[in-house]
A and B are shown apart, each in its own frame.
Chain A
Amino acid sequence: EAGVAQSPRYKIIEKRQSVAFWCNPISGHATLYWYQQILGQGPKLLIQFQNNGVVDDSQLPKDRFSAERLKGVDSTLKIQPAKLEDSAVYLCASSHGTANYGYTFGSGTRLTVV
């Protein structure tokens, strides 16, 4: 089966600019996750969708981050305006249901804010 697709792979922007990331999960996977992974740390959940509804966005900095999953398939994550500390890898993952079914991760988008 095709994996989780993410784009772009790399992005460099200046602080205060905006940026958007795209994720296409595995076909049929109802649950989609966005994680932020800062260098040297484990991934931190930003937002979890079940179909097109939000299950958990408690760690999403809502003043600057937003995410949507229209039609319960593809998802976009946006940062506006970006800060230096947003430099990280943004990972998208999907699963059939809950995490008990296992995740499949995409390769991530490496964001550098200068």
Chain B
Amino acid sequence: KNQVEQSPQSLIILEGKNCTLQCNYTVSPFSNLRWYKQDTGRGPVSLTIMTFSENTKSNGRYTATLDADTKQSSLHITASQLSDSASYICVVSEGGGFKTIFGAGTRLFVKA
């Protein structure tokens, strides 16, 4: 069964600190992996997308990594800001992209 599992479920960090969120998947065949940020009361917004051949992608203070062999991805947030408080969702697309599987998300709280 195709699954996407994220850890931790929630995380509290101090402003200015770095953090890393994890995503493990069993989706096959693999097409691409995306990280989304979802602010409370809003729809998810795409941060990064990676295909099989890419192993790192940055978007400002967000850096995603992908290890297609171990089927693991991480999202690293550098110098966190209060506005980074949100849910971060890992999404994996299967095959030709017609099916996507969402993780449950990691809820990040950044405290002053």
Chain B residues, Cβ within 8 Å of A98:
93, 96-98
**A61 interfacial contact with B, CB 8 Å:** no
**A25 interfacial contact with B, CB 8 Å:** no
Interface footprint category on B: 20 to 34
Separation of A103 and B102 alpha carbons in the complex (Å)? 13
Interface footprint category on A: 20 to 34
**B42 interfacial contact with A, CB 8 Å:** yes
Please tell me if the beta carbons of B43 and A4 are within 8 angstroms of each other in the complex.
yes
Stretch at the interface among B14-22, B44-52, B60-68, B72-80: B44-52
Taken residue by residue from 59 to 94, chain A's Cβ proximity to chain B (1 for < 8 Å, 0 otherwise) reads as: 000000000000000000000000000000001010
Please tell me if the beta carbons of A55 and B98 are within 8 angstroms of each other in the complex.
yes
> Given A45, A91, A108, A110, which contacts B100 in the complex, CB threshold below 8 Å?
A45
Q: CB within 8 Å of A: which residues of B?
A: 4, 31-32, 34, 41-46, 49, 89, 93, 96-100, 102-105, 107
